[in-house]
Amino acid sequence: MPGTLPRNVVKADVASLYPSLMREYRIGPARDRLGVLVAIVDRLVDERLAAKAAARAAQPGSPERHTHEALSAAMKIVVNSAYGYLGAVGLTRFADVRAANEVTRRGREVLTLLCRELARRGVTLIEADTDGVYFAVPDDFSEADERRVVAEVAALLPARVHLELDGRYAAILSHEPKNYAL
């Protein structure tokens, strides 16, 4: 949206997209005949999502909430590194460019679906990447409308790919365009 300041902005978050795709489609390195990497990713993503849910359920500002938020953030770094291992040719035992490319291909499919389905529901796309999608909603949209749109699109995604409303903003300013901006 060059030249404009998008207003009534929503962020829909995709929780650990690449590791979730590895889990959903059992994408791991060919030499990992025991499926160890995907099994580890399964366990860590489940633990991350549990910590994220526990943080939301805890009292804002409480030590319990901070602990669960920190655990979720740490787990995010660890689970997202699994995809990096796939692409680290010559550096790791689990390197497999074909597997990394398959995860990337499926990630593009998911982002294309998200963008298409959000646009079909009358919102204006601002930016999309592997962390989620920012979009502007019409002035007459309520928070319930925003949540409905995100839930409808989330229902179209593969079972282990989770999309949720992650933020609502009066306006946003993207100070530096990304090469994958819409």
pLDDT for the residue 172? 84
pLDDT for the residue 177? 56
pLDDT for the residue 181? 43
For 74-111, b where at least 16 C-beta lie within 10 A, e where not — what string? Answer: ebbeebbebbebbbbeeeeebbbeebbebbbebbeebb
Which two tokens mark 100? 């990394």
Of all residues in the chain, what percent carry a pLDDT higher than 70? 93
Predicted confidence band at 2 (pLDDT cuts at 50, 70, 90)?
low
pLDDT at 3 over 60: no
Residue whose structure tokens are 């829909």: 12
pLDDT for the residue 89? 81
Closest CA to 48 of 71, 23, 14, 21: 71
The span from the CA of 30 to the CA of 175, in Å, is 41
Q: Helix, strand, or coil here: 145?
A: helix
Closest CA to 110 of 85, 128, 83: 128
Mean pLDDT of 28-37: 93
Predicted confidence band at 1 (pLDDT cuts at 50, 70, 90)?
very low
- Check if the beta carbon of residue 160 is closer than 8 Å to that of residue 17: no
Q: What residues contact residue 32 under an 8 Å CB cut-off, 6+ apart?
A: 38, 94
Whole-number average pLDDT of the chain: 89
- pLDDT tens figures, 136-176: 999 999 999 999 999 999 999 999 999 999 889 888 876 65
- pLDDT tens figures, 109-133: 999 999 999 999 999 998 888 878 9
- Check if the beta carbon of residue 81 is closer than 8 Å to that of residue 40: no
Which two tokens mark 55? 């943080």
Instruction: Provide the 10 A C-beta neighbour count for residue 175.
Output: 5
Predicted confidence band at 41 (pLDDT cuts at 50, 70, 90)?
very high
Q: What angle do CA 85, 80, 128 make, to 5 degrees?
A: 120
Q: Helix, strand, or coil here: 54?
A: helix
The span from the CA of 21 to the CA of 35, in Å, is 15
Q: What angle do CA 32, 19, 133 make, to 5 degrees?
A: 155
- pLDDT tens figures, 61-101: 999 999 999 999 999 899 989 888 888 887 888 899 999 99
Predicted confidence band at 182 (pLDDT cuts at 50, 70, 90)?
very low
pLDDT for the residue 175? 62
pLDDT for the residue 42? 93
